[in-house]
Amino acid sequence: MPPGAFPRFHPRTSTSPSKSRHFRWHPNTHAGGRNTIQLHRTAGAVPVRPDRKFLVPSYRIALIDDHEIVARGFAALFGALPEIQVVATVASVTELLESTAQASHPVDLVILDLRLSDDSAVGDNVDRLRSAGSAVLAFTAGDDAVLMRTAARSGVLGVVRKSEPTAVLLDAVLRAAAGEPIPSTEWAAALDGDPELNDAGLSPREREVLSLYAAGAKAPLVAARTGLAEATVIDYIRRVRSKYQRVGRPANTKIDLYKRALEDGILPVPGQP
């Protein structure tokens, strides 16, 4: 399937051939380049105007950065993507929360500059954004390990340097908007030097199970690879979550487990040898 294409599907609204209608997902070059759903008529179907189109839902993202040139470039870059709706480029967390307070849905992803001129604390900023229902991706010059460590500990999905190529930033934002963690060497280095990252005390078997499960394997596959019963695998995962919880490192979701595994070196950071 070519990049950007969507799978085709053909649900029928009736079992009668004379009244069937087919829907197709496909890239469309109209409507500003956005991908659309179009309604295609088959024999006997009710005629549909060819310009009746429905936009594919997009991710709602916002940038918090107090440098105007960065904000303008960000809006221009991401405003051209069909998957992205840039809802705000603002200079502070307070400004974003006030401007989106009446929105029917929270911002899906906030790209947050870690060093803002309002002297706000990184941890507080991340907490406020996550409490509002938004995921957070840290955006930084990368010259302050303490800031990056604080951001990583606060629950951001990843850390992206401002010096990264555009393609790297685009990829990171699209993945983070979908809820995927964005591990990087900067993130790993910040966590590796974190004196407050408490050891959960996992046993060798718990680490083995976690390495498979957090990497994406489901419990039956983990059981097959380790020779354990599926119920035993589930029990190990429950124990792992409990141990992380006891040392103040919650792992309630599979994404959390993946992040804990990266932090503890149980899984390698993508891109590192």
pLDDT-derived band at 237 (thresholds 50, 70, 90) equals: very high
pLDDT score recorded for residue 254:
86
Whether 214 maps to a domain, the answer reads: yes
Mean pLDDT of the 60-82 span: 90
Q: Among 83, 82, 80, 132, which Cα is nearest to 107's? A: 132
Average pLDDT over all residues of the chain:
76
Whether 271 maps to a domain, the answer reads: no
pLDDT-derived band at 1 (thresholds 50, 70, 90) equals: very low
Q: Quick one: 88 and 133 in the same domain?
A: yes
Q: Quick one: 46 and 71 in the same domain?
A: no
Q: Of the spans 27-36, 46-55, 153-162, which averages the highest pLDDT?
A: 153-162
Last residue of a domain, one of 148, 168, 192: 192
pLDDT-derived band at 57 (thresholds 50, 70, 90) equals: very low
Whether 12 maps to a domain, the answer reads: yes
pLDDT score recorded for residue 164:
87
Last residue of a domain, one of 143, 158, 192: 192
pLDDT score recorded for residue 17:
39
45-54, 67-76, 84-93, 167-176: least confidently modelled range = 45-54
pTM over 0.75: no
Q: Among 83, 96, 92, which Cα is nearest to 33's? A: 83
pLDDT score recorded for residue 145:
73
| Domain span holding position 25 | 1-56
pLDDT higher than 80, residue 137? yes
Q: What six digits make up the tokens of 59? A: 């991710």
Q: Quick one: 232 and 255 in the same domain?
A: yes
pLDDT-derived band at 105 (thresholds 50, 70, 90) equals: confident
Phi, psi of 154 (to 5 degrees): -80, -10
Whether 42 maps to a domain, the answer reads: yes
26: which residues sit within 8 A by CB, 6+ positions away?
A: 5, 6, 8, 35, 38
- Taken as a whole, the chain contains a residue count of 273
Q: Quick one: 32 and 96 in the same domain?
A: no
Q: Quick one: 74 and 51 in the same domain?
A: no
Q: Quick one: 156 and 225 in the same domain?
A: no
The tally of domains found in the chain comes to 3
Whether 269 maps to a domain, the answer reads: no
Q: Quick one: 141 and 73 in the same domain?
A: yes
pLDDT higher than 80, residue 144? no
Q: Quick one: 162 and 250 in the same domain?
A: no
- The CA-atom distances, in angstroms, between 69 and each of 35, 72, 90, 97 are 29, 5, 12, 22
Q: Quick one: 63 and 183 in the same domain?
A: yes
Q: Quick one: 52 and 119 in the same domain?
A: no
pLDDT score recorded for residue 265:
81
Last residue of a domain, one of 164, 192, 220: 192
pLDDT score recorded for residue 2:
46
Sign of the torsion angle spanned by Cα atoms 178, 241, 208, 268:
positive
One-character DSSP codes across the chain: --TT--------S-SSGGG-EEEEEE--S-GGG--EEEEEE-TTPPP--TT-EEEPP-EEEEEE-S-HHHHHHHHHHHHT-TTEEEEEEESSHHHHHHHTTT-SS--SEEEEESS-TT---HHHHHHHHHHTT-EEEEEE-S--HHHHHHHHHHT-SBEEETTS-HHHHHHHHHHHHTT--B--HHHHHHHHT-TT-------HHHHHHHHHHHTT--HHHHHHHHT--HHHHHHHHHHHHHHHHHTT----SHHHHHHHHHHTTSSPPTT--
